[in-house]
Amino acid sequence: MGRRGLLWHLLLLLANGLVLWGIIHIWWGETGAPEISRTPGPEVPRTPLLRDTQPLTAFRVVSMKNLFSQDRTGPDLTGGPGGKTEASLEGRHLLGIIIIGDDRAALIGKTAPAGRPSPAGAKPAEVDVVHQGEVWQGFKVVEISNEAVVFQGKEGRRTLNFPD
């Protein structure tokens, strides 16, 4: 056991020395930056803009069609068979005004057509959202205040107030 044991002990001591040398070399060895790869990496696709640049009125058909109806239809947005919208505030009433910072918007509802009485507490058939400065139904929205909306049309200025 003398010579054989000494040989094993020397081999184990040599292995421990090599492991210790590897640990020291990794921890305190060269700290230079790794080499930069000369091959190009994968091509990164460009993502499209998340916010659309179209005005909200372009998406009016989405808000007007009832998602929960069986046939997924809604009111005709062309304004009738001629394709022109009516340029009148008759039958319209102010439902609400939203003011957030400098942004102002008004909710305008259309009452039920003549000959068809609307039940008390019924929701309006159509609700439009107008913003200050845009053109709606042939009128330019000039001002939205806490109490009323002022429109500029061919006949002059018209004011739409909250119903009494």
Spatial separation of the C-alpha atoms in residues 160 and 164, rounded to whole Å:
12
**What is the CB neighbour count within 10 angstroms for residue 137?**
17
Residue 86: per-residue pLDDT = 45
- pLDDT class of 85 with cuts at 50, 70, 90: very low
Residue 20 scores a pLDDT above 90: yes
Taking only the tens place, the pLDDT of each residue in 22-44 is 888 888 876 666 677 777 778 87
- Per-residue pLDDT, 66: 61
pLDDT in tens, 90-132: 888 899 999 888 889 999 988 765 545 555 555 556 888 999 9
Domains of the chain (ranges; CATH) run 91-164 (2.30.30.830)
- Listing DSSP states for 96-131 in one string gives EEEEETTEEEEEEEEPPPTTSPPPTTPPPSEEEEEE
